[in-house]
A and B are shown apart, each in its own frame.
Chain A
């Protein structure tokens, strides 16, 4: 076998191993909620669509009013000025509401992809927080989030990412997030995740016919710290159907599988260098290649 073919096969073998490495990587372990994890429970059956939470959120976070149509302060979705929005769902004359905001996932996609950790999960409360000083504005978080939560200040020359941070400037002082504080119907409740899961289960047990028998966020996408209970299906309310697998699991498994301890890259590097040194030696000793005629 000529030298070319042998080295060609060697190279292919190397590439093949590198490609096969992900298949043998150990799946990354799923994260669990921190011990002091807080949560927000939203009971869609108690919400009356008064939108006080939206108003309070604006005030607490010093967000500007915006006009999407010619109506004053009537956002149609989350945006760079809107961290939470109540959305309306109509079906056969009945009306249901859903609160749209950051889900504060237990194993978030955004914190996994953020290059410099501008989006990070606080170890104490589990709130997903944002530090603009570390943000380069690459917007990978917007690509990654399955709920399409992080919004970008497109209109600014110095843009930031904007999303709900559970009013950590208030909760750090012992208060509640603004939305939970003002809700007149206790449709939004803030507390420890364990307690709110129990509260949700209690409400559902007291009125089984009035609820879909699932707490959205209990295990969805690896679990979230914003929990929903509702009378209509969550898919109708616009929430994505996620399995129990956390969003970053696949990406991190493959990425770490290949680059674990930098072994594979180093090995490839060494192999490439050695192959080329060997080729050069062969060339220097005058061993002729087939010269094309």
Chain B
């Protein structure tokens, strides 16, 4: 009998639908259409990459963010595109059964699974502030990362400690890269990050076995290559000097730039302004609240939300006044007319002077 419980009764997917699904997934993360076909191929062949997803000091927001993706939606993703071998939130099992699944997955897929880390790892007092199954987070992450094909730290907490590491950081929370020195860790910071930042990375690894180009902090450049300030829809307001001064004032209602309310956009690398969230194009600035810089270790949970920041790389528009304004130049017609006039006068003068010789006009002396 066919039930609506997809976990129990996965739907049979026609080939055409599968291809369509994979094309959408590829498009969603900016991969070319050909990749979609490859994903479909891989899925058909049953070669779904294994994903082991660990949770530590986190709020589960990053998972929640993933749950809200729609192309592919989580069901298609975990059922048809990847093999989500271990995930503490999306887990039917519990207790020792879950732990066994975890250990089995690590052994079976050693060297091939994608290890996704959500949440910060506390280190104070030997890491006792986060223990799962009797073992500290430190232990677990080190064991899991040792055999992983790729390590992805999703969310600000996993990337650099996030809110767990906010002053005074009583638990000594750290991000995964700090824990796994020497290991290449892809970080997808954000609080929460855009699910497609993760999906794009995961699918690329699934299809090509490679990771996207990363910046010095391990962040994929396709998502974290530009600052919010550099691709913000309200940038023309910034350039024209139109700012909201207070929440609810006229300028705020007119959706002017939120820089003066403390927007950290100029120093925050992220794609919230272009990709946005929730499939309805919503992001904080659109809702009228300045960006808080949640992807940046130097800003998130460190610099007060409404404190303005400097702009390290100002990119002024060409409409700016230059130091010396160019003038319109001289009218050549006027120059020509003046030249003619002066020339005519000089010529007339010269002719007149020739007429004034003694022979032509008798001098007064000669009259009796």
Do A and B touch, yes or no (CB under 8 Å, in the complex)? yes
A interface vs B, CB < 8 Å?
46, 48-56, 69, 71, 73-77, 85-89, 95, 98, 100, 182, 184-185, 236-238
> Is B238 in contact with chain A by the CB < 8 A criterion?
yes
B interface vs A, CB < 8 Å?
238-243, 245, 259-260, 266, 308, 310-311, 314-316, 319-326
Asked, given contacts A49-B316, A50-B259, A184-B259, whether A75 binds B242 with beta carbons under 8 Å apart, the answer is no
Contact (Cβ within 8 A) B321 A89: no
Asked, given contacts A48-B314, A50-B241, A184-B243, whether A88 binds B322 with beta carbons under 8 Å apart, the answer is yes
Contact (Cβ within 8 A) A184 B260: yes
10 extra interface residue pairs, beta carbon distance < 8 Å, beyond A52-B260, A69-B319, A87-B320 = A50-B238, A50-B241, A51-B239, A76-B321, A86-B321, A87-B322, A88-B320, A89-B323, A98-B323, A184-B308
Which one, B238, B240, B266, B316, contacts A88 given CB within 8 A?
Answer: B316
A86-B266 Cα distance, complex, nearest whole Å: 20
Residues of B contacting A74 in the complex (Cβ-Cβ under 8 angstroms): 319-321
Residues of B contacting A75 in the complex (Cβ-Cβ under 8 angstroms): 321
Contact (Cβ within 8 A) B321 A85: yes
Contact (Cβ within 8 A) B323 A237: yes
Contact (Cβ within 8 A) A52 B243: yes
Residues of A contacting B315 in the complex (Cβ-Cβ under 8 angstroms): 95
Residues of A contacting B321 in the complex (Cβ-Cβ under 8 angstroms): 74-77, 85-88, 100
Measured CB to CB, the nearest residue on chain A to B311 is: A48
Residues of B contacting A77 in the complex (Cβ-Cβ under 8 angstroms): 321, 325
Residues of A contacting B316 in the complex (Cβ-Cβ under 8 angstroms): 49, 88, 95
A75-B308 Cα distance, complex, nearest whole Å: 26
Shortest Cβ gap from B93 to chain A (Å): 54
Residues of A contacting B325 in the complex (Cβ-Cβ under 8 angstroms): 76-77
Contact (Cβ within 8 A) B241 A48: no
Shortest Cβ gap from B79 to chain A (Å): 49
Shortest Cβ gap from B259 to chain A (Å): 6
A-B contact pairs, 23 of them (CB 8 A): A48-B266, A48-B310, A48-B311, A48-B314, A50-B241, A50-B259, A51-B240, A52-B243, A55-B240, A55-B242, A71-B319, A74-B319, A74-B320, A76-B321, A76-B322, A76-B325, A77-B325, A88-B322, A89-B323, A95-B314, A95-B315, A182-B243, A184-B259
Measured CB to CB, the nearest residue on chain B to A236 is: B323
Q: Which of B319, B320, B321, B324 has the most CB of A within 10 A?
A: B321
Residues of B contacting A46 in the complex (Cβ-Cβ under 8 angstroms): 310
Q: 8 shortest A-B CB distances, which residue pairs? A: A51-B241, A88-B320, A74-B319, A55-B241, A238-B323, A77-B325, A76-B325, A52-B241
A48-B259 Cα distance, complex, nearest whole Å: 11
A98-B311 Cα distance, complex, nearest whole Å: 16
Asked, given contacts A76-B321, A95-B316, whether A185 binds B240 with beta carbons under 8 Å apart, the answer is no
Shortest Cβ gap from B157 to chain A (Å): 31
